[in-house]
Amino acid sequence: MLFSDLASYLERLEKTSSRIEITKILAELFKKTPANEIGVTCYLVLGELAPSFRGVILNIAEKMMFRVLAKAYNKDVLSVIEMYKKKGDLGLVAQELGTRHKALGTSLSVAEVHEELMKVAREGGEGSQERRIEILVNLLKNLDPLSSKFASRIPVGRLRLGFSDKTVLDALSWMEAGDKSLKPLLEKVYQVLPDVGLLVREVKEKGAEKACKGVMPVVGIPVLPMLAQRLKSPAEMIEKMGEVSVEPKLDGLRLSLHLGPNLLKAFTRNLNDNAWMFPELKNASKYISAKSVILDCEAVGLDEETKMMANFQTTMTRRRKHEIESASKKVGIDFFVFDILLKDSESYIDKSYLERRKVLEKTLKPGGPLKLVDYELTRDSGRIMELYLKKVKEGFEGVVVKRVDAEYVPGRTGWRWVKMKQGERAQGKLADTIDAIVMGYTAGRGKRVSFGVGQFLVGVKGGDKIVTTSKIGTGLTDEQFREMKKRLTKLEVKEKPKEYEVHKNYTPDYWVIPSLVVEIAADEITKSPTHTAGIALRFPRLVKFRDDKSPNDATTLKELKRLFELQK
């Protein structure tokens, strides 16, 4: 398929707001795309080159793209910058310059454009910046204006057309069945192998049933994590779950740990491999009785002076690559393992919790960085409360209560895992925090002028839409205000993203693309006639930035409504 044909589909997708119409357009595109190109086509319509766990990042700054456009269309950089200030979109600038320059190139295929962008991503070392510019310049010179519009957005991460992997799964079902009936089957496979490009190609070649048959975890590819739900009381937990296991809840970084011959991966919730953060894992394979495993664990910092468990923010100081050595001396890391998904090519995700725990106990060897999380079985709600109070006293966040006969099912489905966190309810606060998506912000006034941020608007996932639930301007330190501005400036866009539903009362000064996830605490949830979630957070405040989570991991409207019910 020619990239110019793909660009026509991208133009249609950009102009369409209806979710069902977007799904049908994608299904039509997938039907017309050859099997050998459908994988890369899928990545490109999502503004990516590969699934996130592959770590393929273009990361081109806007300043560099100004130079690319100037060189490709024989303009000076200042005139390109002026055009950008007026249009607020590099793609529109590229399209206009291409039209003026009479760029008519239409011969490049989708696969060829993808390969050129991959070359840009692979460039590194001395002189790589100039080589990257040259590749992009030659690419744009060989594209027609409409193709240039979209090819210019991808390197700076601004293609976003208002849909995600889940819409691609809908479209794949429409391609095969003419409706969404195959979505549950496709979703189950995607949860185990979260690579939509691979899935689309397999379905195109084999059909949905054959492509989805016998799928199991693969070492090196993250499985989407199983998540805990919330219930009002230990009594309700026993009522809904029967016999349970009670484990301590840790305030750490959730990791999917993959160990194998010459392989070490540590995937966070957003599917990024952060093994580089943890030099402690270098020899972890010595402490497992297996050739390869996939483990579910929590990385928790240990303050070397006090020998106490550190909080999440302290653990996350490891994300600064150039300071890893010094950070590891100040804050050591222990890896508390609580589940096993795969061992030596045998999958355990369909086994019960108790079966998985038995395998896990035989797999971990003592003495290394991998610590086995303890647990206790009970059918007594009073014992759950006793263990909860005991764990809180020992410095844990609370407990996680797990149904003993439950399989490992990614996401929050059924009453399989339930969390019980420290103290908020007893203090008259909301029973849990919210992982919200930052949607935009207003400029600071008074003292906050120097910060550049006065308030920021947050929302939660309501299906494929992002709906508002609060504006937040309190509870931040001066440092957090400055950090917020630094992060949001990189995400600014001129137009409101398509997936946002926002009442006119909450229109911010600056919109940002859905990328930054923050953890928010609040006193309670109230009904709201203006917030598009229909409910709002009362006295919201920033707890921390969640760099380990993507917008797909954010709290859903369904979960927020559940919290609203729990506080009654």
Catalytic residue among 249, 265, 343, 402: 249
Residue type, 357: R
Tokens for 195, please give them. Answer: 């690579």
401 and 246 in contact (C-beta within 8 Å)? yes
Rounded Cα distance, 82 and 93, in Å = 10
In eight-state DSSP terms, residue 246 is E
Rounded Cα distance, 6 and 239, in Å = 53
294 and 258 in contact (C-beta within 8 Å)? yes
Q: Is 419 a catalytic residue?
A: no
304 and 330 in contact (C-beta within 8 Å)? yes
Rounded Cα distance, 513 and 87, in Å = 16
* Strand, helix or coil for residue 374: coil
Residue type, 387: L
φ, ψ (nearest 5 deg) of residue 155: -60, -30
Residue 376 β-bridge partners: 246
Return the sign of the alpha-carbon dihedral for residues 185, 189, 195, 199. negative
Tokens for 452, please give them. Answer: 């550049």
Angle at 514 between CA 510 and CA 515, to 5 degrees: 110
Tokens 């899935």 map to which residue? 199
Rounded Cα distance, 98 and 231, in Å = 57
Rounded Cα distance, 206 and 88, in Å = 43
Rounded Cα distance, 356 and 372, in Å = 13
φ, ψ (nearest 5 deg) of residue 490: -70, -15
Rounded Cα distance, 364 and 340, in Å = 10
* Strand, helix or coil for residue 459: strand
Q: What is the maximal distance between C-alpha atoms in the chain?
A: 76
Residue 536 β-bridge partners: 526
* Cα separations in angstroms, 114 against 145, 168, 286: 17, 19, 40
Tokens for 243, please give them. Answer: 């016999």
* Strand, helix or coil for residue 123: coil
| Residue 161: closest CA among 409, 512, 433, 513 | 513
Rounded Cα distance, 199 and 339, in Å = 26
Contacts (Cβ under 8 Å, ≥6 apart) of 358: none
| Residue 416: closest CA among 245, 295, 254, 297 | 245
In eight-state DSSP terms, residue 402 is E
Active site residues: 249
